[in-house]
Amino acid sequence: MTRRNFLVLLLIAKVIFCFISWYVIGSITKLGDTQDYLRGYFLFRETWTSTAFIMSITGKLFSSLVGYNVIANFPFMLIGFYGIYLGTKQLVLTNSQWFGLLVCLCFPSTLMWTSIHSKEAVLNLFFGVLAFLLIKRLNGETWNVKEKIMLLITFALISFFKPLYAPAVFWFAFYSSTYNLRVKKLLITLTISLLGIASFIALLYIFEQELASYLQTFHRNFSATGELTRVGRVWQTVDDFLLDALNGMLIAFVGPTFNEAADKITLLPFFFEGIATLFIFAVLLLKSVAAPKGMYVHTFFMLFGGVVLFFFAQYPLGFFNPGSALRYKQAFQPFLFIMFFYFAFSSRNGQVNTQKSGQKYVS
């Protein structure tokens, strides 16, 4: 399979799932806020600082032009697809690897939430631009002024739509920009990263009271009645939030738990999808960082640290509601697959990618 075949088949899959999401899934349950966006439901907010307001403006515009139907979803579906087009533009993969990436980007949850009028489709575009810029830098090329401005704009837009993703985006950009530096500078990079983590922990406790007040009401964002939509506890303190973090990050990423899937059989495929995604991430991470005499330190820090930050951002967004967990992760999951495939398989001019020359490995 060539990249052209990959793109054609991905687009066909997105169109098919757009119809399935609208006419089948949409007739059974609500498609998040998509129907509300297309009806202009959030226009009463009248503020550009509200992402729901912006989504309602575009949704109402599209439905006014073509009617309140499945076609109104096409513009954002194509926007998300263009993000994948850009993000994979510099990948050089074998036919089987292109097929593997296609499979990873065609998981049901991914196709469903990125093929309709949704924030996830928009974020796929921004993350696609980010992947394009990062891979260019990782290939040893420098960013020109235009690309640096594009990087800042992309960072700002992702942060605007999902502020919790900002640390992960900054992490990837920072490590990509220092990827080919010498060892001394690399050590400085790692030191700064560890200081950043320490600063984050310190800030949690400096603003503990303010954060605790916010966490106590956070679960209300996922239910119209303000009640919990899954069995669990409401966070009362920052310690509650942190104690639940390790288990909570996995739950929030996978989506439904095994018990929830067992009780509601329709959730079972999505449970296995989440587990499969975690397994593929682990395999690709191992493939990306494995070296003949140890591992590539810089790549490990970038990929593992970036994944942890994305999972930590997903944690409060998906912990209280399995549906929200399935939906929100689709904003960044395609980006992670592209980056993993780049490090694990991508090559230049038909040769295995050995641009790890800027790294040092340890036994």
Q: Hey, is 317 helix, strand or coil?
A: helix
Instruction: Provide the pLDDT for residue 185.
Output: 65
Instruction: Provide the pLDDT for residue 313.
Output: 92
Instruction: Provide the pLDDT for residue 169.
Output: 95
CA dihedral 242, 228, 36, 335 (to 10 degrees): 30
Instruction: Provide the pLDDT for residue 359.
Output: 52
Instruction: Provide the pLDDT for residue 361.
Output: 47
Instruction: Provide the pLDDT for residue 57.
Output: 93
Instruction: Provide the pLDDT for residue 355.
Output: 44
Q: Hey, is 295 helix, strand or coil?
A: strand
Which contiguous run of DSSP H or E holds residue 352? strand 351-352
- Cα dist. 19→13, 29, 70, 214, 359 in Å? 10, 15, 6, 38, 46
Instruction: Provide the pLDDT for residue 9.
Output: 97
| Residue ranges of the chain with per-residue pLDDT less than 50 | 226, 228, 347-358, 360-363
Instruction: Provide the pLDDT for residue 249.
Output: 93
- Cα dist. 119→49, 163, 242, 264 in Å? 14, 13, 27, 27
